[in-house]
Amino acid sequence: MSDEVLATPGVRKWRAPGFALALPAWAWFVLFFVLPVGFVILLSFGAKPDIFRPYSLEVLSFDQYAKALDPAYGPTLKNTLRVGITGTIACLVIALPFAYWLAVRVPPRWRGLLLGLVLVPFWTNFLVRTIGWQLIISPDGIASSVLQQLGIISQPLNFLYSRSAVLLGVVYNYLPLMILPLFVAFDRLDPTLREASKDLGASRFRTFTQVTLPLAMPGVVAGLALVFIPLMGDYITAEVLGGAKGNMLGQLIASQFLSAQNWPLGAAMAVLLMLSITVTGLLFALIGVTVRSALRRRRRIVIDTGEVAA
């Protein structure tokens, strides 16, 4: 229709080329993201000459990668993966019933308010939330006094500065990032599908596992990704709650740039971090796709049999 109008003389429809509109953003990202990160990748192939110069790019090699993976530092990557995967799954398990309840069971007029309440911790400063937990689980903090009063423990609480404290911290900090996509996914679901499933005689559990959950799968995947990626790079939670046991890759990278002055090593670790996130993500995506196609095949057979029988 617009082309016909264009034919009318006197009207010139000027369309700014899309690329031009996006150009400022393009330039910004390239200048302040692509180039700096590229430099970091380049740095990872360098070496550290002496304590007063953080890096030298005279000789390029994979030495820093070898050092980052050697027995001294390798376990950190393993530990980070362990915390990353455990934390993400814990977030999923905790958030799933909650998001479902919020999106489906709560009366609609309350939904907005409760959602707003969920968002409040999400928008509180990450560091402040973590310090709050430090206050709670400190040996002279609230949890300690309450548990001692109740007689559950006899000594002050020895929880702060441990791996479990870090796990608690990361699960807490990234929980809203799991709740929100799940909420959106459940919210988008057409309630009639669930009703249909119930009418066909499926139990509530079966409805959930075979109708609701598969349909909400994009939200689950989004939540897993939104949590796993920043969790792997976490730095603050481990610093504030972890003590020596925290030991996440993010902390190690930071210390290479802040105190140990070995930028090439830090850069190599940063690249390894990004690689491990990508590889793990792809691995789980692959597993997910395989599982899904296997389930699909199984279900298809069942339905076909049913139809044939009818």
Partner 1 sequence: MTATAEPAQLHRRRVDWTNVAMGTWGVLMFAFLFAPIIVIVAYSFNTGRLLTSWNGFGVQGYTDLFDNPVAQSTVWVSIRAGVIAALVSTTLGSLAGVALARRPGRWVPFFLVVLTLVLVTPEIVDAVALLPWFVRLGTDWGLVAFSNGLVRLVVAHSLFAAAVVALIVRARMQGLDESLEESAADLYATPWNRFRQITLPLMMPAVLAGALMSFTLSLDNTIISSFISVTGNTPWPVYVFSSVRSGLRPEIAAVSTLMLLLTLVAIGIVGLVLRRGGESSGGIARTMTGG
Partner 2 sequence: MSNDDGLRILASTEATQRLSRRSFLAGATVTAVAGTTLIAGCGSSDTAPSAGAGSSAGPIEDQLNMYTWGEYDSPKVLKEFTASVGPKLQVDSYNSNEEMVNKLVATKGTSGYDLVVPTGPFIPQMVANDLLEPMDLTRLPNFSNVDSVYLGQTWDPNNEHSVPKAWGTTGYAYDTTKIDREMTTWQDFLDVASTTASGQVSILDSPDNVVGLYLWAKNIDWMTTDMTLLDEAQDYLVNTLAPHVKKFESYPGSNGMPQGSFWLVHAWNGDARQGILSSDDQDRWKWVLPTPRTEIWMDNWCIPKGAPNPNAAYAWIDYVLDPGVSLKELSYIGYHTAIKGIEPAAKEAGLDRLDIVFFTPEQVATMEAGELNDAQQKRVDIWNAMKAAAGR
7 binds, among partner 1, partner 2, none (CB under 5 to 8 A by kind): none
Assess contact for 268 and 68: CB atoms under 8 A: yes
Q: Is 245 in the site for partner 2 (CB under 8 A)?
A: yes
The one of partner 1, partner 2, none whose footprint includes residue 156, by CB under 5 to 8 A per kind, is partner 2
x-or-dash string of contact with partner 2, 23-62, rule CB under 8 A:
---------------------------xxxxx--------
Per partner kind, with CB cut-offs from 5 to 8 A, the member of partner 1, partner 2, none near residue 283 is: none
Task: Give the one residue of 148, 255, 276, 280 binding partner 2; rule: CB under 8 A.
Answer: 255
Number of residues that bind partner 1 (CB under 8 A): 100
Residues 60-79 that bind partner 2 (CB under 8 A): 72-73, 75-76, 79
Tell me the CA distances in angstroms from 82 to 16, 85, 280, one per residue in order.
Answer: 50, 5, 11
185 versus 265: smaller Cβ distance to partner 2: 265
Q: Identify the residue whose tokens are 């390239």.
A: 30
Residues 170-189 close enough to bind partner 1 by CB under 8 A: 172, 175-177, 180-181, 183-184, 187-188
Q: Would you count residue 153 as binding partner 1 (CB under 8 A)?
A: no
Q: Residue 213 touches which of partner 1, partner 2, none (CB < 5 to 8 A by kind)?
A: none
Half-sphere exposure of 260 (CA within 13 A, CB side): 13
* Binding-site ranges for partner 2 (CB under 8 A): 50-54, 72-73, 75-76, 79, 138-140, 156, 158, 160-161, 163, 242-247, 252, 255, 257-262
